[in-house]
Amino acid sequence: ILGWIFAPLAFLVGVPWEEAVTVGGLIGTKIVANEFVAYVALGDLQVDLSERSVLIATYALCGFANFASIAIQIGGIGGIAPARRPDLARLGLKAVLAGALVSLLNAAWAGILVG
C-alpha cells in the first residue's frame, strides 16, 4: 500500500514509473518504520532495480525523517527544555515532512547528475 501512495513521489524524483511503486514502498517504509529497515529492504531489492533507481533510492532513504524521530526529539530536547515539549510535539510532523522533502530533493539532484 505504501508503494502506491509514494510512487508518484518516487517518479517525480526520477525513478522510472515501472520501478516507482517499489521505490515508493521503500520511501514509505522509511517514514513509517525507519531508514535502517528501508535500507535492508533496498539491499534485498537491489538486483530487481536499475542502477539509477538504486542510486536515487539510496539518497531518498538517507535521513531521520520518520515517526520515531518525533518521539526521540520530544524525549531528548524535551528533557533539556521541558516547557517547550508542546512546541516540539506541535512541530514534529512538520519536521518529518521537511526532512523527507530534503531527502527527496537530494535524491532528485543525484538522479539529475548521473543522467
What pLDDT, in 10s, does the model give residues 54-108? Answer: 999 999 999 999 999 999 999 999 999 999 999 999 999 999 999 999 999 999 9
The dihedral formed by the CA atoms of 13, 106, 56 and 70, expressed in degrees to the nearest 10: -100
Burial bucket for residue 10 (CB in 10 Å: 0-12, 13-18, 19+): buried
Euclidean distance between the first and final Cα of the chain, in Å?
30
Inform me whether the pLDDT recorded for 3 exceeds 90.
Answer: yes
Secondary structure (3-state) at 98: helix
Q: What are the extents of the domains in the chain?
A: 2-114
Distance CA 47, CA 34 (A): 22
Greatest CA separation for the chain: 49
pTM exceeding the 0.75 threshold for the entire prediction: yes
- Tens digits of residue pLDDT in 12-57: 999 999 999 999 999 999 999 999 999 999 999 999 999 999 999 9
Predicted pLDDT of residue 115 = 79
